[in-house]
Structure 1
Amino acid sequence: MSNNTLELSKTKISKDRKSHARLGYTKLETAELVEVMNRLLANFSVHYQKLRNFHWNVKGADFFDVHEKFEQQYNDAKVAIDDVAERIRVFNQTPLSTMREYLETSEIKESGTDLTAMEMVGEIIKDYEILLEHMFSVIEMAINHGDSGTEDMIKGFVKQTEKNHWMMTAFSHNS
């Protein structure tokens, strides 16, 4: 095979392979990356609303500690939600964006307002475990598809989420 023929074959394969020429991912790779990011986005969004609910409705002796911590954590979640949604837009896709879509997709479920402060903390600890599972799925997919931008972003979320999990777990064991 001549060099010209080889170059034309590589070009054809490359064009067939790329769905988003600017990024270089196939349609399948793009769909898989966006799917796992949308699942993470949905879980983060329900988690965010749960944190706001708990922030507004916590009562009892632990009020000041828990109230402030929930606010800090929902502000962190808000930033993560925006980052994930914007990363999906980088792939020229539309992120999930309605509560209906979030609730249908999320493994994290809503909670009522009738929980004690420690029950709320327990719920948030479980949420962090679910979020971490989804983060690891996104990282695995990103690594498999050579998406270092998504991988790097989510690894930052993992670090913060693991720290929040540790802090909430330590707090819940002291009560």
Structure 2
Amino acid sequence: MKLNSLGLPKEQSEELVTELNGLLSNFQIYYQNLRGLHWNIKGKRFFDLHLKFEELYNDSQIKIDLIAERVLTLGGTPLHTFSDYMANSKLKVGKGISKDVEAIQLILDSLSVLLQIERAILTKSNAINDEGTNSMMSDFIAEQEKTNWMLKAWMEEEI
């Protein structure tokens, strides 16, 4: 079995690079959706949601960088074109969304997909003892599960 410079199996690391590039693509679409929600939200909850969407897109921008750097660390090349992102993303593009409930539902749906992808990566990285990827996926999952809980609680509020 060939090992890479990190001491990880080369072939499985290359497979992880592909999976991480898929996650990167999905995060780029998620980020753009959040920017659009931030810019276009309207209504009585504008001030709260405008700030929340900014918080979420700033966080996703950090995660995008971490994913790309992990791809590089594993010896791959991060995807970096919008055509690649669109071709490799499973997320719905949220175009023209300005209503609060629709915006939050888009985020919840997106988080569900991101969590599925991250769990699949975690399973594969765990199988080859890739602690760097394991740690990153575990951190992402924990944060996104909390965000999911908070947004679901918001959706259940009485109007």
Q: Give your verdict on TM over 0.5.
A: yes
1:50 aligned residue: 33
Matches within 5 A, 1:1-175: 17-20=1-4, 22-174=5-157, 175=159
- Equivalenced residue count is 158
TM-score (norm: length of structure 1): 0.86
Please identify runs of 4+ aligned residues in structure 1 that moved more than 4 A.
none
- Aligned letter for 1:18? K
Provide structure 2 residue ranges, at least 5 long, that are not aligned to the other structure: none
Q: 2: CA distance between counterparts of 1:65 and 1:118?
A: 13
Q: 1: CA distance between counterparts of 2:81 and 2:3?
A: 27
Provide structure 1 residue ranges, at least 5 long, that are not aligned to the other structure: 1-16
Q: 2: CA distance between counterparts of 1:114 and 1:66?
A: 13
**1:114: Cα distance to partner?**
3.9
**1:25: Cα distance to partner?**
2.6
Q: 2: CA distance between counterparts of 1:114 and 1:31?
A: 37
- Alignment identity in percent? 36
Does structure 2 retain, via aligned residues, the 8 Å contact 1:103–1:109?
A: no
